[in-house]
Amino acid sequence: MTDLTERQAFIRAQTRVAAVPGLDIQLYQATEVTPLWLMTETDLHHHHLPPPFWAFPWAGGQALARYIIENPHIVAGLRVVDIACGSGLVAIAAARAGAAHVIANDIDAYAEAAVALNADLNGVTITFLAGDILSCTAENTDVLGTDVFLAGDICYEKSMSEAMLTFFRRLDAQSSVYIGDPHRSYFPKEGLKRCADYDIVTEADIEDAAVKPATVWKLEKTNEQNPPQH
């Protein structure tokens, strides 16, 4: 595994700074998908790392970031965790919207490098938390006291989607959960409240359309789904 400085140098060399459509946020983004995937293949094979999801502003993340910017009250002054953060786009939006403390979480070491670069690029402070917190209990000390959990575009695999919901439903009743999803196959709508719909401009080589619809959802608590009868 390369160190953080080497990973940051790799990202700078293989991406360019570009604005995220519809947002006043810039990210280091790949201009072509295949070359970057091939160049990281050695690390992926030897270290069992995921593909470079950190190199693109995915549709679900864009929708969630936009919703946060339009509704800053949902994170302002609060402790926020962006799960499976990738580039850190959603975490950056939360920091811009006035969150008191933002943690970006991912299992990919290159995501740590990307988040550091992108946070600096946008003039915000973000703490990176490595590892799979979805498999941990809600009492995990790293996320203890979190007010808001954010998840952008993480339902592209069945196992990931199921782990996400299991984790979120174990959370303390005081924690809010917002999810951005561009209608992925494994996204479960049960127990979720629709907050907003967006048409997201995407890259044709990473999605199936140049403009993709995406929705932001809020996890409903048990008492919200079944209010007491009077």
pLDDT at 167: 85
Cα–Cα nearest to 148, from 198, 188, 111, 95: 95
How, if at all, do strands 127-130 and 101-106 pair? parallel
pLDDT at 20: 94
Mean predicted lDDT score pLDDT of the chain: 84
pLDDT at 30: 85
DSSP class of residue 86? T
**Sorting pLDDT into bands at 50, 70 and 90, what band is 191?**
confident
For the domain made up of 4-223, give the CATH fold. Answer: Rossmann fold (3.40.50)
Distance CA 216, CA 214 (A): 7
User: pLDDT tens for residues 91-120?
Assistant: 999 999 999 999 999 988 899 999 999 999
Distance CA 184, CA 156 (A): 6
**Sorting pLDDT into bands at 50, 70 and 90, what band is 185?**
confident
User: pLDDT tens for residues 63-73?
Assistant: 999 999 999 99
pLDDT at 65: 98
Answer yes or no: is pLDDT of 226 > 50: no
Answer yes or no: is pLDDT of 48 > 60: no
Do residues 126 and 114 make contact, with C-beta atoms less than 8 angstroms apart? no
